[in-house]
Amino acid sequence: MELDRNIGKPMINRIIFFFLICGLCFQTQATEKDSPSESLKAFIGLSGGNSMIARDGTLWMSIKGGVRVHPRIQTGLFVSTIVSDVKNPYKKATSQYIDYNVLGAFAEFRLLEMNLFSLSIPFSVGGGLINIMEQNVEHSSAEDGFFMGEAGLSFNYQLTRVLNVSIGGGYRLFLHVDNNKLDNNDFNSLYGELTFRWTE
């Protein structure tokens, strides 16, 4: 009887060890489900801001979408357009308005994090068309293609688990603008931007 007890103890220890391992594995899997990976999270953002075009203050807006490929790196695509009236100062005889649409790619690198605040550097490149609109004419004409690049600095605040707001600014550079007496210098400008971003 004593021998049976001695044989049974190692078996009981193995069973207890087995259940401990199973419990540990289950807990690890549950933790991984409750705390998803910080990378490969999809997001969409809406931003607006102010810049100068042809010496005139200009309001514009952008829609951005992409993925967070690393806890400190986001990348994706954007579309941008002007939402305010911008007059061509070189056309004195008739009122001529300027509009443009841009499609491009961007990347944002997060430099510093402190609780809910973070500091990041966004870069973007793209191309588009300038539309010239004559007063009292219903349809505009896309008359000039261009390239655009910008770099800036953003201060970010995590409002909720899924919503982030950021304010920042930078410099926007245009290439290949040459139409209706407008050139690159009429579009190159500092800009300010406010962005709301929803993350999956």
Q: Where are the domains of the chain?
A: 1-35, 37-199
Which amino acid, residue 159?
L
So what's the pLDDT on residue 200? 77
Among the four given CATH numbers 3.90.230.10, 1.10.3720.10, 2.40.160.20, 1.20.120.450, the one describing domain 37-199: 2.40.160.20
Q: What φ, ψ does residue 61 adopt, rounded to 5°?
A: -140, 155
So what's the pLDDT on residue 105? 98
Q: What φ, ψ does residue 18 adopt, rounded to 5°?
A: -60, -45
So what's the pLDDT on residue 40? 81
Asked if residues 54 and 72 have their Cβ atoms less than 8 Å apart, the reply is: no
Largest interatomic CA distance in the chain: 114
So what's the pLDDT on residue 31? 42
So what's the pLDDT on residue 2? 44
The series of mean pLDDT values per 10 residues for the chain, 200 residues long, is 47 54 47 50 94 87 94 94 84 75 96 94 95 66 83 96 95 90 90 94
Q: Which of 148, 139, 142, 161 is nearest to 188 (CA)?
A: 148
So what's the pLDDT on residue 139? 55
